[in-house]
């Protein structure tokens, strides 16, 4: 039996607006295995990003639990939560969220600085990752001097620098052309295999989704299997 990395147990999420309550997630159940690559697809507004945020300690569920290696993400201290975000999780967003005043190299090194790694070591590791994503020649550029695809690769390198167990990616190929999208996919696959990182990828890109180990769809507030293992 494979080892479980993340368990989403009976998670519901409601948003309240005055007297109106909207249920976005309804008793969601999911198990993710170590090193597994999972795609979540589903129509716009179905709750995919909400679930991703809940998995990433960024938004508490209204009820239910999320366990990362049996640690309940919403019952630990705020300090432990930020440690988990920095050390166990990596995030890739469609709009990158790179720090505009820092170079590509510094952006990638930032999570390692925060973790307390020595500056020179962090920069060396960031440089090696940038080489691997094909940006060895762009290390000293700031985000405004990079293309969309290049920024996305910087964001991927940044998500991986602390060797997280799980990377959460929201539309990682969303604003890329097909060639750059393929390169991002190839990179995810290669790094996942080399580092044993698990990926949860929310995407409308069916080509990307079909290349993941497993696909699930979000519908009526629940996850339903598309193929591969049933939950």
Ligand X SMILES: Nc1ncnc2c1ncn2[C@@H]1O[C@H](COP(=O)(O)OP(=O)(O)OP(=O)(O)O)[C@@H](O)[C@H]1O
Decide if 154 contacts 111 (C-beta within 8 A): no
Q: Which of 10, 27, 29, 45 binds ligand X (CB under 6 A)?
A: 45
At its nearest, how many Å lie between ligand X and the CB of residue 37?
19
The interface mask with ligand X, positions 46-85, x = CB under 6 A, is xxxxx-----------------------------------
Residue 58 or 231 having the CB closest to ligand X: 58
84: Cα separation from own chain's centroid: 13
Token pair 């890739």 is at which residue? 92
Contacting range for ligand X; rule: CB under 6 A; set: 43-51, 84-92, 114-122, 139-147: 43-51
Cross-sheet strand order for the sheet of 89-92: 89-92, 166-170, 198-202, 37-42, 214-219, 222-227
How many Cβ atoms from other residues are within 10 Å of residue 35's Cβ?
18
DSSP 228: S
Contacting range for ligand X; rule: CB under 6 A; set: 38-46, 67-75, 78-86, 207-215: 38-46
Residue 87 or 175 having the CB closest to ligand X: 175
Q: Which of 2, 15, 75, 229 binds ligand X (CB under 6 A)?
A: 15
Q: Please provide the size of the chain in residues.
A: 231
Furthest-apart CA atoms within the chain: distance in Å: 55
- Interface residue list for ligand X (CB under 6 A): 15, 24, 42, 44-50
């Amino acid at each position: 039996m494979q080892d479980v990395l993340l368990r989403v147990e009976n998670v519901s999420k409601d948003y309240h607006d005055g007297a109106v309550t909207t249920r976005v997630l309804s008793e969601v159940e999911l198990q993710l295995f170590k090193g597994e690559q999972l795609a979540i697809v589903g129509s716009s507004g179905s709750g995919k990003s909400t679930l991703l945020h809940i998995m990433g300690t960024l938004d508490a569920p209204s009820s239910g639990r999320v366990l990362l290696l049996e640690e309940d993400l919403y019952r630990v201290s705020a300090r432990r939560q930020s440690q988990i975000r920095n050390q166990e999780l990596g995030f890739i967003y469609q709009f990158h969220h790179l720090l505009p005043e820092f170079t590509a190299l510094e952006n990638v090194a930032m999570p390692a600085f925060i973790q307390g790694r020595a500056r020179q070591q962090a920069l060396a590791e960031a440089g090696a990752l940038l080489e691997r994503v094909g940006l060895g020649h762009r290390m000293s550029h700031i985000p405004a001097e990079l293309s969309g695809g290049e920024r996305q690769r910087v964001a991927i390198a940044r998500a991986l620098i602390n060797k997280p167990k799980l990377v959460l990616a929201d539309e990682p190929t969303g604003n890329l052309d097909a060639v750059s999208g393929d390169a991002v996919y190839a990179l995810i696959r290669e790094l996942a295999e080399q580092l044993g990182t698990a990926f949860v990828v929310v995407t409308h890109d069916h080509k990307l989704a079909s290349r993941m180990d497993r696909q699930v769809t979000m519908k009526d507030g629940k996850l339903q299997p598309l193929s591969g293992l049933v939950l």
